[in-house]
Amino acid sequence: MNRVGDACPYTSECARFALTGCNGIDHHGCPDKPEPDGYKLNLYEGKTILITGGTGSFGTAFAKHLKDMPPKKLIIFSRDWLKQKNLKDELDEPWVRYFIGDIRDKERLTRAFKDVDIVIHAAAIKDLESCEYNPSEAMQTNVQGTQNVIDACIERKVSKCLFISTDKAVNPINTYGVSKAMAERLWINANKYAADDSIKFSICRYGNVAGSNGSVIPVWKKLIKKGVTELPVTDERMTRFHFLMKDVVSFVDDSLNKMKGGDIFIPRLPSIRIVDLADAFGYPYKIIGIRPGEKIHESMDYDYDSGTNPWFLSVEEIKETLKAIF
């Protein structure tokens, strides 16, 4: 395994530049020298980018991010026409296109991928409980849908294909994690399957994105608005990796810039204790019991998990990250 650098203060610069740029599994720390400002312009200028699941938390954030360095075209591919309409009204950019479609439909993907240079595959059924109770649907979207994206990328000769994965794919114990682990295998194998060195498939694997759709922070925020006096905690031993969306976007930027095909990019992230998160909210908590398929600690790699991670955020540091979300 390749471990680079020591843990650094939790900043977007760390996520943005902390890459080894080599094949295999890359663990990220702080670089000695950052890339020069403006290097990303060379990556996106004149390029057509497509994001599957483009109206989700990541796709929306990445689309807003591109306003500072617009590509030739950005295609938002998703099933939800209402979210597309809302995003279109918010962005109001002539270089953004909106394509309604489902990754289960390979023919629709192939049509959408025409003349695309970069595909970021973020579409998935991500809710743990939904996947647990609808495993066949999870497999059709997360596994077969990913194979459909791979096939469309190869047929349309997309030069850079980046898959957004999750720490739940490592040592999976739930349907969601199993489906993402299988999708990772398919994605990396696609480098051989394509039989074309001009088409590169790589992966970004990271942990919980603070404040993203369905994550604990917005759930607790809604409960507080409803007047709850105690926050629900499944197990007080629970830990999670902690990643801000602005850092995710920068991390994906740099992964696209450095990918060679066959890479699994993994950021060096801090962990948080769920009870410390409750303290940062300023509320007491009550134990409600662990959900089916839920882990006490998440793993980013086989020897890198949120429980043994030497880098934990304090309650005060968590409060600072919450300011960036709220």
Tokens of 210: 């603070």
- φ/ψ of residue 287, rounded to 5: -85, 125
Which residue type occupies 261? G
List pLDDT tens digits, range 143-154. Answer: 999 999 999 999
Tokens of 173: 């114990």
- Mean predicted confidence (pLDDT) in 176-192: 97
pTM score above 0.85: yes
Active site residue 168: yes
List pLDDT tens digits, range 86-127. Answer: 999 999 999 999 999 999 999 999 999 999 999 999 999 999
Average pLDDT, the chain: 88
Residue 228 pLDDT exceeds 90: yes
Q: Is pLDDT larger for residue 26 or for residue 208?
A: 208
User: E strands within the chain?
Assistant: 2-3, 24-27, 48-52, 73-78, 96-100, 118-121, 160-166, 200-206, 209-210, 231-233, 239-241, 243-244, 263-266, 271-273, 285-287, 299-301, 304-305
Please state, in angstroms and rounded to a whole number, the distance separating the CA atoms of residues 263 and 285: 40
Q: Which of 106, 168, 180, 295 is catalytic?
A: 168
Provide the percentage of residues in the chain whose pLDDT is more than 70. Answer: 87
Structural domains of the chain ordered from first start: 2-208+243-270 (3.40.50.720)
